[in-house]
Amino acid sequence: MRVSLKDVAERAGVSVKTVSNVVNDYPHVTPAMRARVQSAIDELGYRPNLTARHLRKGRTGIIGLAVPELGNSYFAELAGAVIDAAAQHEYTVLLDHTQGQREQEILVCQGFRARVMDGLILSPLELETEDLAARRDDAPLVLLGERRYDLPYDHIVIDNIAAARAAVRHLLALGRRRIAFLGARRDHSHQPAHLRFIGWQAELAASGVAVDDRLVATTSGWGHEDGARAMAELLDSGERPDGVFAYNDLVALGAMRVMFERGLRVPEDIAVVGFDDVTESRYAAVTLTTVSPDKEAIARLAVESVVGRLKGDQNHEAPRAARLLQPGFTLVERESTLGRRPHSF
């Protein structure tokens, strides 16, 4: 039989209201009383009805997460981290994917599904400033990704230029000088591909290595097949790099497949660095050196931003200024640049 607030109140010898205050974490409860009620909760195994709790606050208990592509390993792993972070605040996550299309991103940010979401975490690719400026939905919105908007929304982004420079610096330290960049999108200055391209250029120039545009391969997408196609076209053109910095891990892994098919060794002939540190990169035949964004920190900051603004609204606090939050990254060095090493799982 389900344990109720009344059962807990009787066990603790307090009122139902006091139990409710403890369960809902209201501040005006003495430590001794909180401990007394918590002891009764633990003894009886009481589990609060989260849906009812959120509804009493005029909330649904649901945070939306909209990403360009759930089939992309990075976004799938990020979604898992967001779900875990939201659970710590007793929120459920509703997932959506926009396919990186402006129309879908507008639908999401303008309040599509607003009746079932308390807040939204959005990773846009094509959304324009005017699209966000026209937003009428007052649910908290947190933006992920590199596109900057001069608007009052919290924004969480890693430093893509610095991360790209760290990747190229690693290749240069290994003696590589003909370092290709796979996955360029120079026609979209706001996208991460362009920022990583800038980082590639900047580190080469800072190291006194000539920037060779013939070693830049543009792609229409960022999957395995795009990396394979870009690498094949680069080799077919007669250009032979001794290092590759790829837009992401999927592009890098696709490129490595072509290298193997052409009889090229990784890293002896071509050293490869990816970006995102997806699970697949750790279990490839040649494990992949990659830039690892702190996905857990990205997820935690995004959820805390939404929940914090919801609490502020509930307590009638003045809106806080928008924040730019910048989680860190690390370069994870593996076999694709350092050669074979004993595996440790």
**Token pair recorded at residue 177:** 């000088």
Neighbours of 58 (CB within 10 A): 9
Residue stretches of the chain with pLDDT short of 70: 1, 48-59, 112-115, 186-190, 313-316, 318, 342-345
Which CATH number describes the domain made up of 160-293+331-338? 3.40.50.2300
Whole-model pTM: value is: 0.80
**Cα 212 off chain centre by:** 31
Q: What is the second-level CATH architecture of the domain 5-48? A: Orthogonal Bundle (1.10)
Domain range 62-158+295-314, its CATH number among 3.30.70.1450, 3.30.420.40, 3.30.70.100, 3.40.50.2300: 3.40.50.2300
- With contact defined as beta carbons under 8 Å apart, do 245 and 167 qualify? yes
pLDDT digits (tens, 9 = 90+) for 211-220: 999 999 999 8
Q: Which of 277, 217, 233, 269 is nearest to 253 (CA)?
A: 277
**pLDDT confidence of residue 55:** 47
C-alpha angle with apex 150: 146 to 155, nearest 5 degrees? 45
Contacts of 53 (CB under 8 A, 6+ apart): 23, 24, 61, 90
Contact residues for 60 (Cβ-Cβ < 8 A; gap 6+): 54, 115, 116, 117, 118
CA dist 75 and 81 (Å) reads 10
Structure tokens at 211: 């920037």
**Residue 309 CA neighbour count, 13 Å, CB half:** 23
Three-state secondary structure call for residue 68: coil
Report the chain's mean pLDDT, rounded to a whole number: 88
- Which pLDDT score is estimated for 122? 95
Domain ranges of the chain: 5-48, 62-158+295-314, 160-293+331-338
- Please check whether the two domains, 62-158+295-314 and 160-293+331-338, share a CATH topology: yes
Query: What's the pLDDT at 120?
Result: 94
Buried b (16+ CB within 10 A) or exposed e, 283-293: ebebbbbbbbb
Q: What pLDDT does residue 190 have? A: 53
